């Protein structure tokens, strides 16, 4: 009587099972990794806004300081977005009839803030504070990139837990002198104070473990 399965069927079955297992493992890996990719997190995707506000024009072009518009960034958890009156200090004089600025004029007239779309947003279970980073020598560019080159603002870093921990494990090399915090073009040079010297200047030698879960999850 002929065999129902040829001997090679064993091999085929083994290969099929292996392939299924591989798919399973691959699937889990993909399920885990996908949300952490830059693509899924919209890194470097310009975000459409009610008014096409350009940091490139206002920061690199006009030389405005970040704190002119984000004035709580040094002292509070949030950086804050500027009220319409801040825009109007200039735009009540220049470009007063420009169509692109119509939403700004409407916002002022109707006394309702411009509804800017959020770009950087951490989940609510993560605690973050701008003030401490600014006070301890971390520049805006370390997290937000070259904002002064952005015609439309985009997210420059993934803001995953890994991203935060990469610096918290060893902040020294990423710190900068106090007068360069808001300069998004600053680069470390041979003349820059050493990482150890900057750690000392900002009093970061107290052995506080910045990777403890309770630092960011409280
Ligand atoms: C003239 C005012 C002005 C100045 C100066 C300014 N910004 Fe902004 N910034 C805005 C406005 C308005 C928005 C909201 C619209 C947008 O996202 O482009 C914004 C958005 C941002 C965002 C994204 C906010 C989010 O939703 O996550 C970051 C980051 C940012 N600014 C960083 C900076 C940095 C760094 C500087 C200095 C180098 C700076 N800004 C200077 C007005 C300003
Ligand atoms: C210090 C003065 C000043 C402030 C404050 C200011 N602007 Fe401007 N803005 C200008 C000037 C000058 C231009 C023309 C820039 C150019 O053509 O290079 C301009 C241009 C613009 C334009 C036209 C597109 C572009 O970027 O050239 C938009 C839109 C705009 N501003 C929005 C805003 C908004 C929104 C705010 C408030 C968050 C704001 N501006 C605050 C001076 C200012
Ligand atoms: C250590 C990383 C880090 C540094 C340094 C940093 N930011 Fe942020 N920024 C963030 C994160 C994370 C968010 C999103 C916060 C959230 O979702 O609660 C954010 C949000 C913002 C926003 C949106 C409004 C808000 O406050 O949530 C603005 C504007 C902003 N940052 C501007 C700045 C400016 C200006 C500087 C430099 C003076 C700066 N940031 C430095 C990480 C950083
Ligand atoms: C480029 C370096 C750098 C990056 C990136 C960074 N941090 Fe920090 N962080 C620091 C330094 C430096 C301190 C100050 C430590 C101290 O005072 O002992 C700090 C302190 C903190 C604190 C303590 C605040 C307090 O109340 O004492 C929190 C919370 C925090 N960071 C959260 C985050 C989160 C969340 C991210 C990612 C979105 C992040 N950090 C990214 C360097 C960084
Ligand atoms: C420096 C800040 C920081 C520290 C320290 C930290 N986390 Fe996180 N954690 C984050 C951020 C930011 C996210 C959000 C990531 C995202 O958007 O997916 C996160 C997300 C998480 C999540 C959600 C799942 C995930 O991976 O996205 C878990 C679970 C978690 N953290 C556990 C921990 C544990 C356990 C520790 C201590 C060993 C720890 N975290 C220390 C910043 C931190």
Q: Which residues contact 127 (CB under 8 A, 6 or more apart)?
A: 215, 216, 217, 218
In a domain, 173, yes or no: yes
- Tell me whether residue 168 is in a domain: yes
CB 41 within 8 A of CB 158: yes
Mean pLDDT of 196-210: 87
Assign 113 a pLDDT band (cuts: 50, 70, 90): very high
Q: What is the mean pLDDT of residues 190-217?
A: 91
- Separation in Å, CA 69 to CA 30, 44, 122, 152, 218: 40, 22, 21, 16, 30
Q: Give me ligand 2 centre to Cα 83, in Å.
A: 14
Residue 208 pLDDT > 80: no
Q: Is residue 95 part of a domain?
A: no
Tokens of 217: 């999850």
Query: Ligand 4 mean position to 201 CA, how many Å?
Result: 16
pLDDT one-digit tens code per residue, 14-51 = 899 999 999 999 999 899 888 888 888 899 988 999 99
Q: Kindly tell me if the per-residue pLDDT of 1 is higher than 60.
A: no
pLDDT at 148: 97
Burial class of residue 168 (count of CB atoms within 10 Å of its CB; 0-12, 13-18, 19+): middle
**Nearest atom within ligand 2 for CA of residue 52:** 29
213 within a domain of the structure (yes/no): no
Q: What is the dihedral of CA 127, 125, 142, 156, to 10 degrees?
A: -150
Q: Is 153's pLDDT higher than 60?
A: yes
Distance CA 190, CA 66 (A): 27
Residue at 78 is within a domain: no
Reported as a pLDDT band with limits 50, 70 and 90, residue 6 is confident
Predicted confidence (pLDDT) per residue in 158-185, tens digit: 999 999 999 999 999 999 999 999 999 9
Whether 176 is in a domain gets the answer yes
CA distance 70 to 93: 22
Mean pLDDT of all residues in the chain? 93
Q: What is the pLDDT of residues 48-70, one digit of tens each?
A: 999 999 999 999 999 999 999 99
Domain count, the chain: 1
Report the atom number in ligand 5 closest to the C-alpha of 167: 1
- Residue 158 Cα to ligand 4 midpoint, Å, equals 15
The answer as to whether 66 is a domain residue is no
Which ligand has an atom closest to residue 160 CA?
5
Nearest to 148 by CA among 65, 47, 69, 43: 65
Domain extent for 193: 36-48+121-204
Domain-embedded: residue 184: yes
Statement: the pTM of the whole predicted model exceeds 0.85: yes
Residue 50 Cβ contacting ligand 1 at under 6 Å: no
């Amino acid at each position: 009587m002929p065999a129902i399965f040829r001997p090679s069927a064993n091999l085929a079955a083994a290969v099929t099972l292996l392939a299924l297992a591989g798919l399973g493992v691959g699937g889990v890996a993909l399920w885990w990794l996908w949300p952490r990719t830059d693509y899924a997190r919209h890194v470097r995707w310009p975000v459409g806004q009610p008014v096409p506000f350009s940091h490139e024009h206002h920061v690199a072009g006009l030389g405005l300081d970040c704190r002119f518009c984000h004035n709580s960034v040094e002292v509070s958890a949030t950086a804050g977005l500027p009220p319409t009156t801040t825009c109007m200090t200039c735009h009540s004089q220049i470009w007063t009839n420009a169509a692109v600025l119509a939403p700004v004029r409407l916002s002022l007239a109707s006394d309702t803030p411009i509804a800017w779309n959020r770009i950087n947003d951490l989940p609510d279970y993560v605690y973050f504070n701008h003030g401490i980073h600014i006070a301890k020598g971390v520049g805006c560019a370390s997290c937000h990139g070259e904002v002064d080159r952005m015609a439309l603002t985009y997210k420059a870093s993934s803001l995953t837990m890994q991203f935060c921990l990469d610096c918290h494990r060893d902040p020294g090399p990423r710190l900068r002198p106090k007068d360069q915090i808001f300069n998004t073009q600053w680069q470390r040079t041979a003349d820059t104070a050493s990482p150890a010297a900057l750690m000392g200047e900002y009093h970061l030698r107290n052995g506080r473990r910045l990777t403890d879960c309770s630092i960011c999850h409280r």
